[in-house]
Amino acid sequence: MAKNRFNTAWLHDHINDPYVKLAQREGYRARAAYKLKEIDEQDHLIRRGQIIVDLGAAPGSWSQYARNKLSSPGKAGLDGRIVALDMLPMEPIADVTFIQGDFREDAVLRQLEELLGGEKVDLVISDMAPNLSGVSVADAARIEHVCDLALEFAQAHMKPEGALLVKCFHGSGYSQIVEKFKSQFKQVAPRKPKASRDKSSETFILGRHLKRSA
């Protein structure tokens, strides 16, 4: 019964969520687009001419937002490039190159590196989240692992002056993740956009300017 009540409450909140309604109206696949939009408007992350990699991209709302920022009115194609990766399938987005697979696997990484043609990335965005079990110690380890993967990826593929934005969660292990970011980046800042639900422990960490490049 409790589970049914929870599901009903979640559905009610979701249907009445202003960001869900906005996403439907503006053609975004998920309300998550507005989290990236708020952070981008604060930190000016996305600029024309950039190479952007979207990790854990499905269903694609972050790539959609980035694509809109790299589009020039009246011009075909993008001023810049977006590569999206996810283990799950994703419906195509015009001008966005999608790789389905696990970027920890050599074959997937090689595919990405071939697409980049030796160029380094300006911005890595990651809305990846592990499946959470409700066991805080286990979940903390899973969250840290996902953030570590994004950090390693950025370290290997990003320009020294680039930026990495990852999703994280407050709680056990959060301070260790922040410390890892501080060891890799000259500037580190937490971000909690208004589009992130108040009840959620979800937050984002932004790292800018690598201390050393791979």
pLDDT digits (tens, 9 = 90+) for 126-180: 998 877 777 778 878 888 999 999 999 999 999 999 999 999 988 878 999 999 9
Which residue's entry shows tokens 């697409």?
Answer: 115
10 marked as part of a ligand binding site: no
Report pTM. Answer: 0.89
Q: Is pLDDT at 214 greater than 50 in this prediction?
A: no
DSSP-assigned letter for residue 142: H
Terminal-residue alpha carbon distance, the chain:
53
Q: Is 173 buried (19+), middle (13-18) or exposed (0-12) by CB count in 10 A? A: buried
Estimate the crossing angle of helix 136-157 against helix 106-116, to 10 degrees: 40
CA within 13 Å, CB half, 7:
4
Q: Is 86 labeled as ligand-binding?
A: yes
**Is 182 a residue of the active site?**
no
In the chain the domains, ranked by start, together with CATH numbers, are: 31-210 (3.40.50.150)
- Which entry of 167, 180, 182, 199 is annotated as an active-site residue? 167
Strand partners, 172: none
H-only helix segments in 158-200:
174-184
| 40 is annotated as contributing to ligand binding | no
Bridge partners, residue 84, by sequence: 54, 98
Instruction: Identify the sign of the CA torsion 188, 192, 195, 197.
Output: positive
Q: What is the pLDDT of residues 50-105, one digit of tens each?
A: 999 999 999 999 999 999 999 987 788 899 999 999 999 999 999 999 999 998 89
CB atoms within 10 A of CB 41: 11
Cis preceding linkage at 59, omega within 30: yes
- Could you tell me which of 214, 135, 147, 150 has the C-alpha nearest to residue 177? 147
